[in-house]
Structure 1
Amino acid sequence: MVLQLLLESKNTAVFGVQAISDTVIVTCNSHDKIAEFVETLKKVFISFLKRNLFIRGGVAYSKHFQSGRITYSHAVAKAYEIESKLSIYPRIVFDENIINMYKTSSTLAGLLGTESVLERNGTYFLDILDYDNWPVVYECAKSLYEKDKDLIERNEQAFLKHVWFENYLFSSMYGDPAKERYIDAARHV
């Protein structure tokens, strides 16, 4: 499984993964490892994209208990709420409380100021792009759109996910100006 491979080299005392139906829970129990956690989330997003799947997600900070098959977690409930209400496009959204916690703390570091988090319209989300992966992400997103093109015709919600992602790619500081947009502009009839 993709997630197991990504987390194989991680310290299982700090990082965890669990999959239930279409929900993937990736956990990190150490503020000191936030940069590694964020990098793992980027890899998870891109590995799903490479398999022609857009994903959405939410990142929350709260109590979380897991033992064997039992999971009790306010964090999972909050992350689900974020994913379903704010992360309507293919992206991983951070709970605003996490951003505020890192903004106001003099001891927490590794999240803000690292070009890992973008803000748009009051929503904070993971920037999965960098100079090295932009071309790969572009090609995967283009391929996914071309594969889905006939399926999403006249389905505005599905189409807008692709439009949002294309706009995200081309608004990125890592973008390649030589690449062309792969979604046709609106045209007069």
Structure 2
Amino acid sequence: MAIELKEYIVAFIDLLGFSAMVQHDCERPKKEHRYIKVLYTIHLKTKELKKTIIGLEITQFSDSVVLAIPYSQENYKKVVDVISNYQYDLLNDGILCRGGASYGKHFSTEDFLFSNGMIDAYKIESTIALTPRVIISKELIDLVYPASELSKNEHLILESDGLYFINYMKNGNADDSWKAICKAIPDELSENPSIRSKHIWLIDYYNHQFPESKRKDNHRFVSPDA
């Protein structure tokens, strides 16, 4: 077998809240298990992604999924669609995820992975994404898009921090997307600052995507006499 590094598009996706879900089911009796069946179903759905694009590689471990495919503009468009659909499906299962997508030299087999594309994608996921979004690296954006096409692209959204993320709510309408959000976040936002910020971001994203159907004000600031 020839061992050769080639240019690949690589995405690193992290399922948020995975540790808490595992801890919940492991510490409770069988009748109170809420997540193991959902997570196993997601695992099976993730394996099926291989069938959506010829040449797509999928690696799963713990709460992480790596997608890789040889670089081409056509493959870029296909993998963005796959990620968008996947992220929206996860939301419908009550699971949030975040991630990064980049490109670079890559080589893998069934049990070996050597990839600076994955390293770049992981760095984006772990240090930049922060909220339930999959960010496309600036380098990949510059490689794929002429500047004139970016403003017309419904597959990506430019956030105020200057980063483009995959617009996964384009896959649903306002009502269905809100129902999915209600599965993923509680009625009362969490007191945990990290979790709360993700939920607030998700509501803001919904309100941006469906401005005619705004559902909830976040009330970031509370007046002294409230």
Please state which band the TM-score falls in when normalised by the shorter chain: 0.7 to 0.9
Q: Give the deviation of 1:168 after TM superposition.
A: 0.8
Aligned partner of 2:66 in structure 1 is 25
Higher helix share: 2
Q: Give the deviation of 1:103 after TM superposition.
A: 3.6
Q: Is the 8 A contact 1:65 1:71 kept in 2?
A: yes
Question: Is the radius of gyration larger for structure 1 or structure 2?
Answer: 2
| In 2, Cα distance between equivalents of 1:70 and 1:140 | 36
Aligned equivalent of 2:138, options 91, 96, 117? 96
**Given the two structures, how large is their TM-score scaled by the length of structure 1?**
0.82
| In 2, Cα distance between equivalents of 1:93 and 1:115 | 15
Q: Give the deviation of 1:181 after TM superposition.
A: 1.7
Tell me the SS of whatever aligns to 2:185: helix
Aligned partner of 2:85 in structure 1 is 43
Cα 1:54–1:71 shift into 2, 3 Å: same
**Given the two structures, how large is their TM-score scaled by the length of structure 2?**
0.70
| In 1, Cα distance between equivalents of 2:68 and 2:213 | 38
Q: Give the deviation of 1:41 after TM superposition.
A: 0.2
Aligned equivalent of 1:171, options 203, 208, 216? 208
Aligned partner of 1:117 in structure 2 is 156
Aligned residues: CA RMSD: 2.5
Q: Is 1:34 paired with 2:55?
A: no
Tell me the SS of whatever aligns to 1:86: helix
Farther-moved stretch of structure 1 (48-57 vs 111-120): 111-120
User: How far does the alpha carbon of each residue in 1:78-132 deviate from its partner, in whole angstroms, 9 at most, with x for none?
Assistant: 1110011110000000111011112459xxx9x8743111112211111112274
RCO greater where, 1 or 2, for CA within 8 Å and sep 6 or more? Answer: 2
Cα 1:178–1:57 shift into 2, 3 Å: closer
Aligned partner of 2:99 in structure 1 is 57
Specify every segment of 5 or more residues in structure 2 that has no aligned partner in the other structure, as ranges.
Answer: 1-43
User: Identity of counterpart residues, as a percentage?
Assistant: 19
Letter in 2 for 1:180: R
Q: Give the deviation of 1:144 after TM superposition.
A: 1.8
Q: Is 1:6 paired with 2:49?
A: yes
Report how many residues are paired: 178
Q: Is the 8 A contact 1:2 1:47 kept in 2?
A: no
